[in-house]
Amino acid sequence: MSKEIKELINEIDVSESNYEKASNRYKAIANYIKESDLAEYSPDIYLQGSIKLGTAIKPLTEDGAYDIDIVCNMTKKRRNHQTQRELKDELGKVVKNYSLKHSMENFPKESNRCWTLNYVDESNFHIDILPAVPWNDTDDGNIAISDKRSDNYDDITFDWEVSSPKVYSDWFKKQSDFQIIKESYAKRFYANIEEIPDYKIKTPLQRIVQLLKRHAEVMFSYSTPLKRFLTTFNNNVLKSSLIIILSG
């Protein structure tokens, strides 16, 4: 890898301290939800998005923010147990209580699908929490999610939007040979693989996605180092990278 590419990666990469801060904040809200009134629904709370995939990048501008996307899957609920609005409001009540308990400066914001916690500090994090219920009775990784734009938002119905963040994450890791590279990393440093945080591992596919994301942010203005970097990789890997970019 050239010096220019290494410098570019260092410039856009999220620091280990910010990954740890993201992890701590995710765990704090996850534990709070699990110990709240929602505990009776056995919430399965997990990361999705760029932090989970290891493709997060630094914000391009000073007023940009780090996004932490998490799912709150109420595993003991089903689509026909409540409306999408009721599910979202139940989670919103807990998220608001968390904000008040921790004297957060910004009150949680409701978007079409999520509740957002905004943290005011030098890192400028925000956490998007997506309420969900299982799509099927079996744990196949598919979830039903609420969306205010749905015509059935206030109806008791099976007609919900489906999403598969766990399946998607597993697919991405398989495409990038993540486990193989992580095992190699563990052997090199004589470490227990279970003790190595995923953010310490960066595969070529993850790096490509990071670079393409930054590339998209600067309006597709190719730099020479970026062109050289992209042309060294197999076209199939590039196709996989573009899928990640286009899916958001």
pTM across the whole model: 0.84
Q: What is the pLDDT tens value at each position of the chain, 248 positions in all?
A: 677 788 888 889 998 999 999 999 999 999 999 999 999 999 999 999 999 999 999 888 777 788 899 999 999 999 999 999 999 999 999 999 999 999 998 999 999 999 999 997 777 889 999 999 999 998 899 999 999 999 999 999 999 999 999 999 999 999 999 999 999 988 888 778 877 889 899 998 999 888 888 887 776 554 444 444 444 444 455 555 555 544 44
Relative to beta strand 143-145, strand 66-74 is unpaired
Residue 160: other Cβ atoms inside 10 A? 22
**Cα–Cα distance for residue pair 135/143, rounded to 1 Å:** 5
Stated as kind and residue range, the H or E segment containing 42 is none
Residue partners of 214: CB distance under 8 A and separation at least 6: 8, 12, 57, 60
Beta-carbon-side half-sphere exposure of residue 230 (alpha carbons within 13 Å)? 17
Strands (E), 9-65: 43-48
Q: Are strands 66-74 and 125-134 parallel, antiparallel or unpaired?
A: parallel
